[in-house]
Structure 1
Amino acid sequence: MSKANEKLPDLLAEAVLKESAPVPQDLVEVDGIDYSKPEATDMRASDLINSMKKMGFQASTLGEACEIVDKMRSWRGKHIDELEEHDKKGSFDENGYQKTTIFIGYTSNLISSGLRETLRFLVQHNMVSAIVSTAGGIEEDLIKCLAPTYLGDFTLSGSTLRDQGMNRIGNLLVPNDNYCKFEEWIVPILDKMLEEQEDYVAKHGKDCLDANTDVDSPIWTPSKMIDRLGKEINDESSVMYWAHKNKIPVFCPSITDGSIGDMLFFHTFKASPKQLRLDIVSDIRKINSWSMESSRAGMIILGGGLIKHHIANACLMRNGADYAVYINTGQEFDGSDAGARPDEAISWGKIKAGAKSVKVYCDATVVFPLIVAATFANGRPLLKPEETN
């Protein structure tokens, strides 16, 4: 205590002027960006985020998320020629080395937003291995190829918009005519899919409805249906188009929960008594098998709920993911899956105890473009193997 405070009552001195323990040498000092320096002018995204790492709060978790994504995408294992035949599974890079199987999940509102173009970039350039989305995340991508979504306002009157045939998604507006165009586009495809299904069953008998190893058969699953829609849309602005072209599976266990579900429902009346069937069990076997066969597994989760848990549960089948980045605004006090931090998933075996994981509490439309710009799209070589451990 300084001499200036020697006459303070002992209780007051102990309460207010308590001495600090020695500061550990490994603590990092809080620091920010000095915009008076030339290098801070019009910074690259990677340099900006690197400068934000010591700011604290979500700026620091954003920096940590970028580090994890870089390690996730940079890890390399053995060359395929070094592996036993039964170990030649999982993901491999263009040079034949094992790489992380990256599962990315996103909710439908993010496809409705301009984040769609960021997601399309990742799929177009084969930077992710598998996708999990909601039905809206599939159909809104396809609908945008037929008609645009517009900026609106969060405060627009719902009853007025209803009278105008305008649907609001936050501060976005989707004319109801867009869904009419979607119906006109998808119904002939559903007709053709049903015809192919019926012809295949007639040719191969009802036994073909058992566990079917013919991956190209019209015994439809949600992922097969989505792949077909990506092929049919034939539009390079579409995430689903590039998923089809690059053979990246898109899983959607809630395929009926949206306009696609409406179209399937309407189609049951049109095609009655015949009916298009989707085998959801085959898809759960497929995504879980992908996880089990992966050399390392990474999760990038944008949003929460079904897409978050479906990927996490698949990673449970391999005793947890090796990397995990969550981005959402959910809080954990209500016990929701969206709000749960990575540590909760560790308790379930969905993320490994020693995994590199982080949750960024933020709107994904704000931070994910920054993450992609600083990692996948930074134009720099991948990290060296010793830097990914």
Structure 2
Amino acid sequence: MLENFKHFNSAALVDAAKGYEDQLNQGNKMMITLAGAMSTAELGKSLAEMIRQDKVQIISCTGANLEEDIMNLVAHTFYRRVPEYRDLTPQQERELLDQGLNRVTDTCIPEEEAFRRLQKHVYDIWKTAESNGERYFPHEYMYKLLLSGVLEQYYEIDPKYSWMLAAAEKNLPIVVPGWEDSTMGNIFASYCIKGELKTSTVKSGIEYMTWLADWYTENTQKSGLGFFQIGGGIAGDFPICVVPMLYQDLERTDTPFWSYFCQISDSTTSYGSYSGAVPNEKITWGKLDADTPKFIVESDATIVAPLIFAYLLGL
């Protein structure tokens, strides 16, 4: 990588990796945000080791990424790859649905072995917490599920490649904005509609933000916190706003800006496209400072992220 990546996006990739490394060498911490279908893309093969080696201190992810890493852990052999997905007709897509195969680009997630296999176990955890008058964040319920050992009977990949299992074992802080927009979120809502669970049993996005405000304040007292964003969307938009909220809305004017910023995205800059906006735009929103190290790699995150992680892991 260092020998051959010299210009354009490849050079930006190297610069971003070195910038990430500099942050860690300076004693700063790093948040990684996961959008898209990075768990289904098996990013856990490299991200799990990043977690184990303390090269990431907090993660923000979509509800889909939270659950799909565990689905891959317990149902991997039932997944079906569809390399010719661009040529599928609407009728062929319907046939996949009828077979219980939900397609994510070229990969189909098996509903029965993935979604339903988790559902019965996570329901028990939700119900037990509610019966005890307890409330937890979405990722905390998933941690309880993984650490209980009840899923070990289903493991179909080497557990060292599950980033959620690595995170659970370290009790890594996770923020999951918009968790309701996920399969487990939909399943939880269905139990609430049926009157089997209360909506308050799972903590909300506002509670995630208030928790993050305290965590950010505490963890930037003596060091900086960098922001490594994979893709766009709420996984990145939500947590990056904690800084202007603290600085502007709470008037804590000693709040430091993010100490590093990198985004991997193939979203193009267009009118109103936040996911495609260049990092400098974030200066005007009070998220980054003028001298914050900023990088953007306009490429496929499933290619770029594993390369950067490999560099940081010395592979």
Cα distance in structure 2, aligned partners of 1:222 and 1:61: 35
Cα distance in structure 2, aligned partners of 1:146 and 1:245: 17
**1:1-389 equivalent positions in 2, closer than 5 A:** 49-54=1-6, 56-75=7-26, 99-148=27-76, 149-153=79-83, 154-155=85-86, 156=88, 157-177=92-112, 178-197=114-133, 218-232=134-148, 236-237=159-160, 238-269=162-193, 271-272=195-196, 274=198, 276-280=200-204, 281-293=206-218, 294=220, 295-316=223-244, 317=246, 318-375=255-312, 377-378=313-314
Contact 1:126 1:246 in 2 (8 A): no
Contact 1:108 1:138 in 2 (8 A): no
Cα distance in structure 1, aligned partners of 2:73 and 2:286: 40
Cα distance in structure 2, aligned partners of 1:120 and 1:341: 29
Q: Give how far 1:371 is off.
A: 0.9
Contact 2:137 2:202 in 1 (8 A): yes
Q: If the length of structure 1 is used for normalisation, what is the TM-score?
A: 0.68
Report how many aligned residue pairs link the two structures: 286
Structure 1 gaps of 5+ residues are 1-48, 76-98, 198-217, 380-389
Cα distance in structure 2, aligned partners of 1:372 and 1:186: 31
1:299-348 deviation digits (Å, cap 9, x = unpaired): 11111010111231124333421111110111111322211111111221
Q: Give how far 1:51 is off.
A: 2.2
Cα distance in structure 1, aligned partners of 2:117 and 2:54: 30
Contact 1:323 1:356 in 2 (8 A): yes
C-alpha spacing 1:288/1:274, structure 2 compared with 1 (3 Å): closer
C-alpha spacing 1:189/1:270, structure 2 compared with 1 (3 Å): farther
Contact 1:108 1:140 in 2 (8 A): no
Cα distance in structure 1, aligned partners of 2:8 and 2:201: 48
Q: Give how far 1:168 is off.
A: 0.7
Q: If the length of structure 2 is used for normalisation, what is the TM-score?
A: 0.83
The farther-off stretch of 105-114 and 141-150 is: 141-150
Cα distance in structure 2, aligned partners of 1:184 and 1:219: 19
Contact 1:341 1:359 in 2 (8 A): yes
Contact 1:52 1:60 in 2 (8 A): no
Cα distance in structure 1, aligned partners of 2:143 and 2:271: 36
RMSD: 2.1
The percent identity for this pair of structures is: 22
Structure 2 gaps of 5+ residues are 153-158, 247-254
Contact 2:35 2:236 in 1 (8 A): no
- SS where residue 277 of structure 2 aligns? coil
Letter paired with 1:73: L
Matched residue, 1:207: none
1:131-179 deviation digits (Å, cap 9, x = unpaired): 1000101111121222113322222332231232211101111122121
C-alpha spacing 1:347/1:256, structure 2 compared with 1 (3 Å): same
Letter paired with 1:247: N
Contact 1:108 1:135 in 2 (8 A): no
Displaced runs of 4+ in structure 1, greater than 4 A? 273-276
Q: Give how far 1:185 is off.
A: 2.5
Letter paired with 2:226: G
- SS where residue 126 of structure 2 aligns? helix
